[in-house]
A = this chain, B = another copy of it.
Amino acid sequence: MKSVKRKVEVCLSPSVFPEFRNDDAIVVVVDILRATSAIITAFIHGAKKIIPVATLDEAKVYKEKGYMVAAERDGIVRDFADFGNSPYNFQKEVIQDKEIVYSTTNGTNCITMARNSYRVLIGGYLNLDAVGDYVKTEAHDLVILCAGWKNKFNLEDTLFAGALAESVLQDDNYFTICDSAHAAIDLWNMARQNIMKYIDKAAQRHRLKEKGLDDVLEYCHTMNVTRIIPVLKENYLTKIDDFTDNDR
């Protein structure tokens, strides 16, 4: 018998996801630097669909079929791709009404991993409140899946997980007995007053800086720019129709 209360869990890295598998749950995938921030931005700027693919080989096949392809590994755009992983690539002129195939080091793999769940949403600071509000409209458990870095824990995704978990847990319909949810919430409350300062110790922040890709850091940590929530349907992402700026 299903408990009336809905469970909140935080999965700190994709390598642990098998332990959190719950086909009845809403899974929110988060890869703040930079995949999910880029995907949300793409839909803000009018993308029609994004097809997430886990491997570069799959991305290449789509490219040969004529699709626009965003593909990077370790922050470096792949030769065959049209562009990489910076949210700044996903601008209106380039992507409006387009279907884009997208493969990244960490984020897109998580999306395909979670596809058997009840629903897969794309979360980031850019749509934090919208995701929290939407989750609460459905009577399902919540798993927040942090993309991390090459199967390891990372700080920036964990902080977001803490922010979202805390917000959802304020609703009495939810509970948690998940140690990683508690840790994420505590870290979020330590960081939230000055998130840019806190995130300065994150390894990915330094990786991006070394490659001159850290221009997106502040943008990716900007709160509630949009009410748009990308959602997985079959094998592609689209935006949830009835939950956009009108609901604000």
Which of A9-17, A52-60, A72-80, A223-231 lies on the face that meets chain B?
Answer: A9-17
This protein's copies in its complex: 2
| A151 and B20 alpha carbons, distance in the complex (Å) | 10
Partner of A15, one of B16, B182, B204: B16
Min Cβ gap A190→B in Å is 6
0 or 1 for each of A195-224: is its CB under 8 Å from B? (1 = yes): 000000111101000000000000000000
Q: Does the CB pair A153–B177 fall under 8 Å?
A: no
Task: Mark out the residues of chain A between 137 and 153 whose CB falls within 8 Å of any chain B CB in the assembled complex.
Answer: 149-153
Complex-state Cα separation, A115 to B12, whole angstroms: 25
Interface size class of A (residues with CB under 8 A): 20 to 34
Closest chain B CB from A155 CB (angstroms)? 4
Cβ-defined contact, A155 with B177, below 8 A? no
Contact present for A158 and B183 (CB under 8 Å): yes
A19 x B183 contact (CB < 8 A) = no
Q: Whole-angstrom distance between the alpha carbons of A180 and B13 in the complex?
A: 11
Question: In the complex the two chains form, what is the Cα distance from A158 to B149 in whole Å?
Answer: 19
Task: Report whether A16 and B178 are in contact in the complex, using a CB–CB cutoff of 8 Å.
Answer: no
A153 to B158, CA, bound (A): 12
| Chain B residues closer than 8 Å to A154, beta-carbon distance | 179
29 interchain pairs, CB-CB under 8 A:
A12-B12, A12-B153, A13-B16, A15-B16, A16-B16, A16-B151, A16-B153, A18-B151, A19-B151, A19-B152, A149-B179, A152-B179, A152-B180, A154-B179, A155-B182, A155-B183, A158-B179, A158-B183, A177-B203, A179-B201, A179-B202, A179-B203, A179-B204, A182-B202, A183-B187, A186-B187, A186-B190, A187-B187, A190-B190
Residues of A bordering B, CB below 8 Å: 12-13, 15-16, 18-20, 149-155, 158, 177-180, 182-183, 186-187, 190, 201-204, 206
